[in-house]
Amino acid sequence: MARLPVYLRALHALQDRGVATVSSEELAAAAGVNSAKLRKDLSHLGSYGTRGVGYEVEYLVYQISRELGLTQDWVVAIIGVGNLGRALAGYGGFASRGFRVAGLLDADEQIVGQEISGLTVRHIDRLEDVIGEHGVSIAVIATPAAAAQGVCDRVVAAGVTSVLNFAPVVLTVPEWVDVRKVDLSIELQILAFHEQRKAGGPDGASGLNGRPAAVPGDRPEPVHYVEAAE
Amino acid sequence: MARLPVYLRALHALQDRGVATVSSEELAAAAGVNSAKLRKDLSHLGSYGTRGVGYEVEYLVYQISRELGLTQDWVVAIIGVGNLGRALAGYGGFASRGFRVAGLLDADEQIVGQEISGLTVRHIDRLEDVIGEHGVSIAVIATPAAAAQGVCDRVVAAGVTSVLNFAPVVLTVPEWVDVRKVDLSIELQILAFHEQRKAGGPDGASGLNGRPAAVPGDRPEPVHYVEAAE
DNA sequence: GCGACTTTGTGCGCGTATTCACAAAGGCTT
DNA sequence: AAGCCTTTGTGAATACGCGCACAAAGTCGC
């Protein structure tokens, strides 16, 4: 399930706060989901809750980590070291979750050889070498769109079976390869769409959409759930 | 619908290739969706296809752009100018889609005053001023997790009604505010999950998962759809 | 030890999304 | 002009996910 990582994040935060046990209601609120859904999700890993009490945080963290495969380290290569690739290379959230960036690759001779976050950028020609040497199993594609499919084909041919794609293209891969896509401009476009409807879009919506005329801080359910920075 | 931006991207690519007309089958393949679904999606904007021929690319681009609200410019502020914020500030995909970054804000005195992608980073204290001056309607939160909810409350209080959140926290907002979340480490965790299952996870899966023993480039349906870099 | 209370686990109904499959519609060829 | 062929638009069946609501289960107080 795609929600497991969210639960895990919330559980880690609870752990940091020293909480030992948590009810489905609380955890669901922290994760922003319905409590019945959360219970159903957790029951799919087996039953790890105690009725009348809740779930033991530490045990749940372990179970979810294991289910997600985070008990082992995953070796990642980042291909395309532009703005985004650089940011990803320096992103702390990877290492702390068991993802080890083992290679940075780029086609630009200006960039090859640079040291970024402790790694030297290597030329894309060495892609297969880097993947083989380090046993890379996940490739992060942060190249321009035009290069993405070609790079993808190469990493797949080199044995990679999971791809995280930041290029704005639909990648075509064999069925045994998983691709996940992150497209920043698509996210903004979806927001723009909703924003337009709120403002009274072309369909002539109300123009208010339930927003009170003037509201001084009445955010509903102030969960205010904050985790440790990473 | 969340698929409209994908269609739009594919249509732009067709435009660049000089294609004037496209069938639902082709466009669906390019966007990676079922053709019936695509037709149903498009029919919800009204009927813009010609039976026996297909859709006129240019007209469709216009219709979808209008539906998404891309015929107008949207003003964006990026809050948190770390690795990720910097990458976002320099990301070309925003400007080309009608999103204008009008402000960069950070709390770190070291960063405030720096010029990045033609914009001077301003102190987070001036958040409300920046939002008001430029008429910001979309806020991009790229702060550490611990700061995100606080920043979010402030942008909402200042009148922003759409938030794109990169911080690994579940933001709590009033119901009239839209939040979209992008969490990089969650994407990787989902890949790790599938990767583990492929390798024969804890449930004792086959360990092969349909992958042929050795396959020399038999990627199915070589659409090889590539767009212009942006 | 027992009863009341809390919380889990899940059966069920509902609304939505997805896909198939086909009839209607239009273009193109002869 | 007529028939064939392509492609759209959509009705109907299916699959899916979600959330309510409740019974089973276990804890805690007395």
Q: CA B224, CA A153: separation in Å to the nearest integer? A: 10
Please give the structure tokens belonging to residue A3.
Answer: 């929600």
Largest CA distance in chain A: 62
User: Which residue carries 């360990």 as its tokens?
Assistant: B207
| CB-based contact, B9 to chain A, within 8 Å | yes
Range name among A91-95, B74-78, B116-120, B200-204 with the lowest pLDDT average: B200-204
Residue B18 has pLDDT above 90, yes or no: yes
User: Residue A188 in contact with residue B164, Cβ under 8 Å?
Assistant: yes
- Tens digits of per-residue pLDDT, B58-94? 999 999 999 999 999 999 999 999 999 999 999 988 8
Of chain B residues 183-202, which have a CB less than 8 A from chain A?
Answer: 183-196, 198, 201-202
What's the whole-number mean pLDDT along residues B10-36? 96
Which residue from B86, B75, B91, B77 is spatially nearest to B151, judged by alpha carbons?
Answer: B77
The predicted pLDDT at position A211 comes to 52
- Considering only CB atoms, B202 lies closest to which of A66, A94, A175, namely A66
Greater model confidence, A19 or B202: A19
Going by pLDDT thresholds of 50, 70 and 90, the confidence category of residue B181 is: very high
**What is the per-residue pLDDT across B128-175, written as a single tens digit (0 to 9) for each?**
999 999 999 999 999 999 999 999 999 999 999 999 999 999 999 999
For residue A87, give the nearest of B87, B144, B153 by CB distance: B87
Looking up tokens 């679904």 gives: B37
- 3-state class of A169 per DSSP? coil
- The nucleotide closest to A22 (CA, C1' atoms): C7
In this structure, are strands A162-165 and A138-141 parallel, antiparallel, or unpaired?
parallel
Does A185 sit within 8 Å of B99, measured CB to CB?
yes
pLDDT given for residue B92 in this prediction = 87
Strand C atom within 7 Å of A82 CB: no
In percent, the amount of chain B with pLDDT more than 90 equals 80
The reply to whether residue B169 touches residue A99, judged by beta carbons under 8 angstroms, is no
Total residues belonging to chain B: 230
Per-residue model confidence (pLDDT) at position A93: 85
Contact yes or no for B172 and A221 at CB 8 A: yes
* A91: β partners: none
Give CA A27 to chain center in angstroms: 20
pLDDT at B203 over 70: no
The pLDDT value given to residue B199: 78
Q: Which residues contact B150 (CB under 8 A, 6 or more apart)?
A: none
Q: Which pLDDT score is estimated for B228?
A: 37
The DSSP annotation for chain B comes to: -TTHHHHHHHHHHHHHTT--EE-HHHHHHHHTS-HHHHHHHHHBTB--EETTTEEEHHHHHHHHHHHHTTTS-EEEEEE--SHHHHHHHT-HHHHTTTEEEEEEEES-TTTTT-EETTEEEEEGGGHHHHHHHHT--EEEE-S-HHHHHHHHHHHHHTT--EEEE-SSS-----TTSEEEE--HHHHHHHHHHHHHHHTT-TT---SSTT--SS-SS--SS-----PPP-
State the pLDDT confidence band at B212, using cuts at 50, 70 and 90.
Answer: low
pLDDT digits (tens), chain A, 230 positions: 899 999 999 999 999 999 999 999 999 999 999 999 999 999 999 888 899 999 999 999 999 999 999 999 999 999 999 999 999 999 988 888 899 999 999 999 999 999 999 999 999 999 999 999 999 999 999 999 999 999 999 999 999 999 999 999 999 999 999 999 999 999 999 999 999 988 775 444 444 444 554 444 444 444 433 333 33
Per-residue confidence (pLDDT) for residue A198, from 0 to 100? 84
